[in-house]
Structure formats: structure tokens, C-alpha cells
């Protein structure tokens, strides 16, 4: 999963400052510990891969605002602090590839059209969210963003009645809901002609 956040420029600085402060309060620990909000990544290989993504982003000119390293209080395990990266160029690896780790790339935009272009400039299209007090704007962006799931003024709720799945390289078909059942069906068309009158050059069958 590649978490990318686009923020309109006039609120970007205040929003990012608050987000960094909030992320530093996320408890990273053994998942069995009370209050844990972020456990380890799945394997050593993935741990090293995430660190390489972050290092490459820094070498390409991005700014690591927070995180990207093992928490100081955890000497063992594949833990990585919540990571927020800014000064992103859309050609950077960290922006274009799926990291599958606690890494958030942040990019500013000025217009609605720019936001749509940024959101759709990807090989992936699993899910996205639109946050705005303007309901009509939310509806416009929900229609224009090329992703299988769009949340409006929320993020991550899923319902077994609604089809789940992505577009482009983010999967094929759908799970859940009637759309999910369709993937397990093989549809056959059968047409029976029941009239005794000829139809075109067909003639009624003999008894």
C-alpha cells in the first residue's frame, strides 16, 4: 500500500505541523501491549525494503519530517516509526511505488483539477478519500478519481454488502456484495424460439 496525502496549499503548513505532532504520539510496541497503535512490519525483508524506500526518497531530495527509523525504546523486532515525507516529486520512487509500510507521502496542490491529476497519475487504484466541507466538490472528485473505493469525509469503513476491489494494477474483479458473487459465476445465454411462424430464414422445427 502506498499512502499519499494531497493537501491544498493554503492550509498545508498548519495541517502538516499538526499531523507530525499527532504521529509522534502513536504508540509503537508489541501488539499485545495495551494502547499499541502500530506493531512491527511483517518480516525482516519488508523492514529493510521500507528503510531503503525512505533512504532513496531522502537521496532524491525529499524531506523526512518524522520517523523512518526504529523507535529508540525497541531494540529488537521489525519496528518502524510512523514516517511523514514532504518535498515530493511525482517522479520519485517513494511516490510511484507501493511501500507497504507506515509511510505517508505529502504533496500540496492549488486547484481541484491538479488534485485529480495527481490522484490519477499512478499505476494503482485501490482506494482513496476526499475530505472537504463542500459536498458538491466531494461528489465531483469521487466521480473523477480512478479508484475502486472512494470514501468521503471518512476513511477505511467497509461493508460486506458493498463490492470491494481496485482498478488498474490494484487487483482484478470485486469481493463482497453482489459484485463479488459475480466473479464466481459463469453466465450463459440461452434463447428459445417458441413460435410456429418462420423467423427470417429459420423455419419452425418439425415435430
* pLDDT (tens place) for every residue of the chain, 207 residues total: 567 899 999 999 999 999 999 999 999 999 999 999 999 999 999 999 999 999 999 999 999 999 999 999 998 999 999 999 999 999 999 999 999 999 999 999 999 999 999 999 999 999 999 999 999 999 999 999 999 999 999 988 888 898 889 999 887 788 888 888 888 888 889 887 888 787 777 666 665
What is the b/e burial string over 14-34, where b = at least 16 CB atoms within 10 angstroms of the residue's CB? eebeebbeebeeeebbeeeee
Question: What pLDDT was estimated at residue 153?
Answer: 95
Question: What pLDDT was estimated at residue 187?
Answer: 86
- Within the chain, how many helices (H) and strands (E) appear? 6, 8
Q: Of all helices (H) and strands (E), which one includes residue 66?
A: strand 63-66
Q: Which residues contact 89 (CB under 8 A, 6 or more apart)?
A: 60, 61, 62, 95
CA atoms 133, 137, 138, 139: torsion sign: positive
Q: What is the largest CA-CA distance in the chain?
A: 87
Domains annotated on the chain, with CATH: 3-110 (3.40.309.10)
- Given a contact cutoff of 8 angstroms between Cβ atoms, the answer to whether 182 and 143 are in contact is no
* Cα distance between the two ends of the chain: 64
3-state helix, strand, coil split of the chain in percent (to 5) is: 30, 20, 50
Question: What pLDDT was estimated at residue 79?
Answer: 97
Amino acid at each position: 500500500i502506498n499512502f499519499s496525502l494531497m493537501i491544498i496549499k493554503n492550509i498545508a503548513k498548519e495541517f502538516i505541523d499538526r499531523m507530525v505532532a499527532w504521529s509522534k504520539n502513536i504508540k509503537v510496541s508489541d501488539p499485545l501491549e495495551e494502547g499499541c497503535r502500530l506493531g512491527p512490519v511483517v518480516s525482516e525483508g519488508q523492514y529493510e525494503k521500507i528503510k531503503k524506500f525512505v533512504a532513496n526518497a531522502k537521496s532524491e531530495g525529499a524531506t523526512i519530517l518524522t520517523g523512518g527509523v526504529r523507535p529508540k525504546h525497541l531494540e529488537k523486532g521489525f519496528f518502524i516509526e510512523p514516517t511523514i515525507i514532504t518535498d515530493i516529486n511525482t517522479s520519485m520512487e517513494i511516490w510511484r511505488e507501493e511501500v507497504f509500510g507506515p509511510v505517508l507521502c505529502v504533496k500540496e496542490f492549488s486547484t481541484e483539477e491538479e488534485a485529480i491529476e495527481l490522484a490519477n497519475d499512478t499505476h494503482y487504484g485501490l482506494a482513496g478519500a476526499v475530505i472537504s466541507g463542500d459536498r458538491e466538490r466531494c461528489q465531483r472528485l469521487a466521480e473523477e478519481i480512478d479508484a475502486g473505493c472512494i470514501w468521503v469525509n471518512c476513511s477505511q469503513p467497509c461493508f460486506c454488502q458493498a463490492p470491494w476491489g481496485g482498478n488498474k494494477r490494484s487487483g482484478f474483479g470485486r469481493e463482497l456484495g453482489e459484485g463479488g458473487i459475480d466473479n464466481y459465476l459463469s453466465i450463459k445465454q440461452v434463447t428459445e424460439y417458441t413460435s410456429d411462424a418462420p423467423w427470417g430464414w429459420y423455419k419452425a422445427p418439425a415435430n
